[in-house]
Chain A
Amino acid sequence: MPFIPHTDDDEREMLAAIGAPSIEALFDEIPPALRVQSLDELPTGLSEFEVLQLMAARARADGRPLCFLGAGAYEHHIPAAVWSTITRGEFYSAYTPYQAEASQGTLQSIYEYQSMMASLTGMQVSNASLYDGATAVAEGCLMAVRANRRSKSARILLPRSLHPHYRAVALTMALNQGLIFDTVPYARDCGHLDLDALTAHDGQDFTALVIQQPNFFGVIEEVDALTDWAHAREALVIAVVNPISLALLKPPGEWGAKGADIVVGEGQPLGCPLSSGGPYFGFMTTRMQHVRQMPGRIVGATVDVDGRPGFSLTLQAREQHIRRAKATSNICTNQGLLMMAGTLYLALMGAEGLERVAAASMARTAELVAALTVLPGVRRMFARPTFHEAVLALDRPVAPVLAALAQRGIQGGLDLADFYPELGPALLLCATETKNGADIAAYASALTEALRPARAA
Chain B
Amino acid sequence: MSLALRERLIFEYSRPGRGARGQWPEAPARSALDALPDGLRRQRRPLLPEVSELDALRHYTRLSQLNFSIDTHFYPLGSCTMKYNPRACNAAALMPEFLGRHPLAPVAQGQGFLACMYELQEMLKAVTGMRGVALSPLAGAHGEFAGVAMIRAYHRARDDLERDEIIVPQAAHGTNPATATMCGCVAREVAVGADGDADLEALRAAVGPKTAGIMLTNPSTLGVFERRIEEVARIVHQAGGLLYYDGANLNAILGKVRPGDMGFDVIHMNLHKTFSTPHGGGGPGAGAVGVSARLLPFLPLPIVAREPAAERGAEAPQYRWLGERDLPQSIGRLTSFGGNAGVLLRAYVYMRMLGREGMRRVAEYATLNANYLSARLQQVGFEAAYPQRRASHEFIITLKRAEQDYGVTAMDVAKRLLDLGFHAPTTYFPMLISECLLIEPTETESKQTLDAFVNAMAQILREAREDPEQLHGAPHTLPVRRLDDVRAARELNLVYREPAT
Contacts and interface: CB of A to CB of B under 8 A. Distances in A.
Interface stretch (B307-315, B350-358, B399-407): B350-358
Contacts of B499: none
A300 B283 contact: no
Interface in B40-59: 40-43, 45-51, 53, 56-57, 59
**Which 6 A-B residue pairings sit nearest by Cβ, starting from the closest?**
A45-B355, A277-B337, A89-B71, A337-B280, A58-B112, A277-B103
A386 B145 CA distance: 36
A138 to B, nearest CB: 9
Interface stretch (A145-153, A231-239, A310-318): A310-318
A172 B332 contact: yes
Interface stretch (A203-211, A346-354, A442-450): A346-354
Interface in A338-372: 338-340, 343-344, 346-357, 359-360, 362-363, 366
Interface in B134-177: 138-142, 144-145, 149, 152, 173-175, 177
A301 interface: yes
A26 B102 contact: no
A310 B481 CA distance: 9
Given A60-B112, A220-B36, A298 B494 contact: yes
A27 B256 contact: yes
B109 A114 contact: no
A339 B280 CA distance: 10
12 contacts: A3-B86, A18-B368, A34-B229, A72-B103, A90-B67, A105-B63, A135-B336, A275-B93, A322-B174, A351-B45, A353-B20, A362-B33
A91 B278 CA distance: 9
Given A91-B64, A332-B175, A44 B20 contact: no
Interface residues of B, number: 206
A41 interface: yes
Contacts of B180: 325
A276 B337 contact: yes
B483 A302 contact: yes
A312 to B, nearest CB: 5
Interface string A41-72: 11111111001101111111111110101011
B494 A303 contact: no
Given A23-B368, A330-B179, A91 B415 contact: no
Interface in A80-110: 81, 83, 85-106, 108-109
A300 B488 contact: yes
A308 B484 CA distance: 10
B126 to A, nearest CB: 4
A79 B183 CA distance: 40
Interface stretch (B236-244, B438-446, B455-463): B438-446
Contacts of B98: 59, 62, 275-276
B375 interface: yes
A26 B281 contact: no
A36 B258 contact: yes
B100 interface: yes
A297 B282 contact: yes
Contact-residue size bin, chain A (C-beta under 8 Å from the other chain): 35 or more
Contacts of B187: 324-325
A336 interface: yes
A129 B4 CA distance: 30
Contacts of A301: 488, 493-494
B32 interface: yes
Given A6-B446, A18-B375, A92-B69, A315 B489 contact: yes
A389 interface: no
Given A6-B365, A102-B68, A300-B489, A165 B336 contact: yes
B127 interface: yes
Contacts of B351: 42
Interface string B90-123: 1111111111111111101111110110000011
Contact of B496 (A2, A112, A310): A112
Contact of B255 (A36, A44, A177, A248): A36
A11 interface: yes
Contact of A176 (B26, B183, B414, B488): B183
B496 A411 contact: no
Given A132-B335, A249-B40, A81 B484 contact: no
A303 B484 CA distance: 6
B424 interface: yes
Contact of B181 (A45, A173, A325, A359): A325
Contact of B353 (A48, A73, A111): A48
A39 B57 contact: no
B39 interface: yes
Contact of A172 (B261, B300, B494): B300
B262 A34 contact: yes
B283 A333 contact: yes
Contact of A338 (B25, B41, B104, B284): B284
A95 B82 contact: yes
B255 A312 contact: no
Contact of B138 (A61, A105, A278): A278
A223 B475 CA distance: 51
A385 interface: yes
Contacts of B390: 26-29
Interface stretch (B198-206, B288-296, B341-349): B341-349
A96 B281 contact: yes
B328 interface: no
Nearest to B29: A363
Contact of A43 (B64, B282, B356, B367): B356
A92 B10 contact: no
A329 B48 contact: no
Nearest to A14: B372
A4 B95 CA distance: 26
Contact of B281 (A106, A122, A274): A106
Contacts of B186: 325
B109 A291 contact: no
A5 B444 contact: yes
Contact of A62 (B7, B56, B110, B444): B110
B210 interface: no
Given A88-B61, A276-B337, A333 B282 contact: yes
Nearest to A81: B57
Interface string B259-289: 0011000000000100010111111110000
Interface string A121-134: 01011101101111
Contacts of A118: 494-495
B138 A275 contact: no
B95 A56 contact: yes
A287 to B, nearest CB: 12
Given A85-B64, A92-B85, A250-B40, A114 B495 contact: yes
Contacts of A103: 66-68, 281
B48 to A, nearest CB: 5
